Amino acid sequence: MTVKQLGLPELVAHCVRLGITAVGLWREPVRAYGVEAAAALVHDAGLTVTSLCRGGFFTADGREADNRAAVDEAAALGTDTLVLVSGGLPAGSRDLPAARARIADGIAALAPYAAERGVRLAIEPLHPMYAADRCAVSTLDQALDLAAPFPAEQVGVVVDTYHVWWDDRAPAAVARAGAEGRLHSFQLADWTTPLPAGVLTGRGQLGEGAIDLAHWCELALAAGHTGPVEVELFNDDLWARDGLEVLEETLSAFGKITPRIGATLSG
Amino acid sequence: MTVKQLGLPELVAHCVRLGITAVGLWREPVRAYGVEAAAALVHDAGLTVTSLCRGGFFTADGREADNRAAVDEAAALGTDTLVLVSGGLPAGSRDLPAARARIADGIAALAPYAAERGVRLAIEPLHPMYAADRCAVSTLDQALDLAAPFPAEQVGVVVDTYHVWWDDRAPAAVARAGAEGRLHSFQLADWTTPLPAGVLTGRGQLGEGAIDLAHWCELALAAGHTGPVEVELFNDDLWARDGLEVLEETLSAFGKITPRIGATLSG
């Protein structure tokens, strides 16, 4: 999604060229290309799929079939992680606790299906500015509480710096996620202001914003995270530019965050 | 600020006409009108000043004199409450804990001055989307922790529904604020989407958004809040309309929230 201007074949070719060995994918371009074809394209190039984004929106009606399809697509792509964006308030509702209960029910309904297919559900807390319309799960602790009833290898969480950086309880929650074995996905994006209208497409390039990304990488490593580090930028300015150039810039910015992450990446 | 298109004399006249007996003021229009003149205008009309907004921005350099002036202005207006917007990250910094420590120092420096003048400092947690550039105090619990070293009659908190509605820990924090005697200001605004660019001027008219305002009023009353209920809407659309019309509409919307608040208001 960071370089959504690129088609899947271009993305894969550029990753190979730049030495990027793993990539997180979104459902829409995968489905447009064909799930099996996308899986072959990626694997034939020697790439690993880190995660598929996204299932969820449990607070809307009739999402069961689509969420199971998302699990199937993740399995077909060979990734073990499906990211869940859980949904905001149902239309006409102002009841956040009820929305959160409905999210819990939705996860409970989907988890066995995913487990049978070897796909972990990763609940992503979204920044509180999305609580009404995208995700009523606003903190890492809430996500961990939602995951708690399930085995860690079935349901865990996503830590995305863009969503949790402001939260003074989040560092402890990262440690908790690690201790529980639920840190299924770790994503980087920076916080830049002013936010654009709609607040969806203003995520900053790594190093250009307010977040101490090195600190968050250290927290994830200290929590035992050994999985991939994803970079997920939604940014109109980046999307308007040449995709390869953005990919190179992002890789360079990534490499500057911390030597420890660089070592992890190259290792 | 809800009707900032009105000059102070118009605002006062309209309040009197509509039976509004108390009003929260912002510093800029008060200073433009003259502090003493504004105090006379308001009091001669029989209005009470609920609070003055705002002091703070402790993470910027050289704010001491201006914050003391804010205290003086509050005292001159006869209000016992100065709202504090604490400031975000200092320029070039990514260290949120350091910003919060600096805020604590700023409050410690201002509190005795305010106490001597009979003005309570009310720390306002702002929505986490303002953490970088306006206020590193993002939750009600953080605000209460910052207030904790001081006597409750000197330093307390603001509960503004717009800023805290998403937080599953905020209801307990409202109760905590009440139990500690620190619920110095209670403000209403609704949450409407999509947010406008800059996310400063999109607060929704009461009842038009996602927040269960009746629930929050009940929480404040259950916490022992007996003070005023302020309505603080920053909204470009409302500002573009006739101020009296907006004031009437807001009063009507306020009256529909809950009978208990209506009774409190009329009582």
CB contact under 8 A, A199 and B199: yes
Q: By the CB < 8 Å criterion, does B86 face chain A? A: no
Which residues does chain B have within 8 Å of residue A168's beta carbon, measured at their own beta carbons? 96-97, 100, 138-139, 142
Q: State how far residue B254 is from chain A, nearest Cα, in angstroms.
A: 17
Q: State how far residue A173 is from chain B, nearest Cα, in angstroms.
A: 15
- Specify the pLDDT at position B263: 58
Which residues does chain A have within 8 Å of residue B168's beta carbon, measured at their own beta carbons? 96-97, 100, 138-139, 142
Which residues does chain B have within 8 Å of residue A138's beta carbon, measured at their own beta carbons? 166-168
- Specify the pLDDT at position B250: 97
A99 dihedral zone (left: phi>0; alpha: psi -120 to 50; beta): alpha
- Specify the pLDDT at position B265: 52
pLDDT band at A195 (very low <50, low <70, confident <90, very high): very high
pLDDT band at A221 (very low <50, low <70, confident <90, very high): very high
Which residues does chain A have within 8 Å of residue B199's beta carbon, measured at their own beta carbons? 129, 194-195, 199
- Specify the pLDDT at position B259: 75
Q: In one letter, which amino acid is A173?
A: A
Instruction: Please give the Cα distance from A82 to A68 (Å, whole number).
Output: 11
Record: fold of A8-257: TIM Barrel (3.20.20)
Q: Give domain limits for chain B.
A: 8-259
Nearest-by-Cβ selection for B195 from A165, A198, A210: A198
Q: Please give the mean pLDDT across all residues of chain A.
A: 96
What is the complex's ipTM, to 2 decimals? 0.96
- Specify the pLDDT at position B138: 98
Q: Which CATH number is B8-259 given?
A: 3.20.20.150
Q: By the CB < 8 Å criterion, does A98 face chain B? A: no
Q: State how far residue B10 is from chain A, nearest Cα, in angstroms.
A: 33
Which residues does chain B have within 8 Å of residue A191's beta carbon, measured at their own beta carbons? 132
φ and ψ of A137, to 5 deg: -95, 105
Instruction: Please give the Cα distance from A260 to B232 (Å, whole number).
Output: 47
CB contact under 8 A, B166 and A138: yes
Which residue stretches of chain B have pLDDT < 50?
A: 266-267
**Mean pLDDT within A223-243:** 96
CB contact under 8 A, B197 and A193: no
Q: What is the three-class DSSP state of A151?
A: coil
**Mean pLDDT within A228-254:** 96
3-class SS letters over chain B:
CCCCCCCHHHHHHHHHHHCCCEEEEEHHHHHHHCHHHHHHHHHHCCCEEEEEEEEECCCCCCCHHHHHHHHHHHHHHCCCEEEEECECCCCCCCCHHHHHHHHHHHHHHHHHHHHHCCCEEEECCCCHHHCCCCECCCCHHHHHHHHCCCCCCCEEEEEEHHHHCCCCCHHHHHHHHHHCCCEEEEEECEECCCCCCCCCCEEECCCCCCCCHHHHHHHHHHCCCCCCEEECCCEHHHHCCCHHHHHHHHHHHHHCCCHHHHHHHHC
- Specify the pLDDT at position A266: 46
Which residues does chain B have within 8 Å of residue A131's beta carbon, measured at their own beta carbons? 165-166, 210
Q: Which residue of A has its CA nearest to B195?
A: A198
Per DSSP (E only), the strands in A6-142 are 22-26, 48-56, 81-85, 120-123
- Write out residues 168-187 of B within 8 Å (CB-CB) of A: 168
Q: By the CB < 8 Å criterion, does A96 face chain B? A: yes
Nearest-by-Cβ selection for B129 from A97, A129, A142: A129
pLDDT exceeds cutoff 50 at A261: yes
- Specify the pLDDT at position B135: 98
> What pLDDT digit, counting tens, does each position of A29-69 carry?
999 999 999 999 999 999 999 999 999 999 999 999 999 99
Residue (of B220, B167, B162, B152) closest to B192 by Cα position: B162
- Specify the pLDDT at position B254: 95
pLDDT exceeds cutoff 50 at A267: no
Size of interface A-B (CB pairs under 8 A): 93
Q: By the CB < 8 Å criterion, does B198 face chain A? A: yes
CB contact under 8 A, B94 and A167: no
> What pLDDT digit, counting tens, does each position of B87-116 carry?
999 999 999 999 999 999 999 999 999 999
pLDDT band at A264 (very low <50, low <70, confident <90, very high): low
Q: Which residue of B has its CA nearest to A201?
A: B197
Nearest-by-Cβ selection for A166 from B128, B199, B211: B128
**Mean pLDDT within A197-205:** 97
